[in-house]
Amino acid sequence: MMKMNETCRQCLLDKNLGKVPAGTDAAAAAQYAEKVCRIVMESGEESAPEIVEMIDRVHDAFFGAEDFSDLKYHFNALMLSLEQRLHEKVGEATDAFAGAIRYAMVGNFIDFGAMDSVDEGKLLTFLDSAEEIEIDAEVLEAFRKQILDAKSIVYFTDNCGEIVCDKVLLSVIRTMNPTAQVTAIVRGAPVFNDATMADALQIGLQEVADEVLDNGSAIPGNVAEKLSGAAKAAVEQADVLIAKGQGNYESLSGCGLNIFYIFMCKCRLFVERFDVPLYSGILTSER
């Protein structure tokens, strides 16, 4: 996994110290800030998503949980309204697999964990220009071969709305390899606008996956050692795994599993790590 560094620490402090509701008692605000600073500065072996879960517990204890349910429903509905158009675009593409991957990359823009807000106009612009995204040809062909040969595939989802793009990609994968067992994994509890079982059901993810499991936690990512029993069993049996989003890259990279990562670079750390412009789509692999 990607361990915390100074860039991540400063980002987490900036985001979370500003999350004190208006009118909060000064003493309570100071106590909250002190606890958040301690968690962030004492982080060592954990990935950023694990630290985020710790901070969220503190925030919820002081101020109550943030409610993203209306926002999640909205973005799920928005992307569902575009689903048929996405299927048509992918069907028209010279390479349907690559086309679906590009839309999956763009869907990762819907991320209220990495960003304070999601500009719907910018999202639609990204979707309209998705065909222009360059994909590493070597990684793409390795990914294609792994999918064609796999008997079992696990797909780690990330955010609401985005999972409609995942659904489109999974439908292409099912066409490529109709006999593979496909398992989709969502978050085990609400965190930001990350996809949970309710979101999966809203957009019909079960239509393209043999089973949909939750990961057993509110970590905005997936940590192999902390997965629920069912999710861990599926991962251990999988020939190939697909992980969506920066949080899943941060929490899973380096774990040694056969994982292909799909995401959009939405922060300075990822822009510098992959040496690409902001909002670039990335397909990369663990191996």
List, for residues 174-219, the tens digit of each pLDDT value: 999 999 999 999 999 999 999 999 999 999 999 999 999 999 999 9
Q: Which of 123, 108, 140, 158 is nearest to 267 (CA)?
A: 108
Same domain? For 149 and 48 the reply is no
Residue pair 68/192 in contact (Cβ under 8 Å)? The answer is yes
Residue pair 107/162 in contact (Cβ under 8 Å)? The answer is yes
Same domain? For 31 and 134 the reply is no
Per-residue model confidence as pLDDT tens digits over 132-167: 999 999 999 999 999 999 999 999 999 999 999 999
Can you give the pLDDT at residue 268?
87
Can you give the pLDDT at residue 153?
98
pTM of the entire predicted model: 0.95
Can you give the pLDDT at residue 7?
85
Can you give the pLDDT at residue 1?
63
Q: Which segments of the chain have a pLDDT < 50?
A: none
Same domain? For 80 and 58 the reply is no
CA distance 160 to 80: 11
Same domain? For 80 and 17 the reply is no
Only one residue has tokens 């304070």, namely 116
Its domain, for residue 266, covers: 69-285
Same domain? For 150 and 39 the reply is no
Residue pair 90/103 in contact (Cβ under 8 Å)? The answer is yes
> Domain for residue 229, yes or no?
yes
Q: What percent of the chain has pLDDT over 90?
A: 88
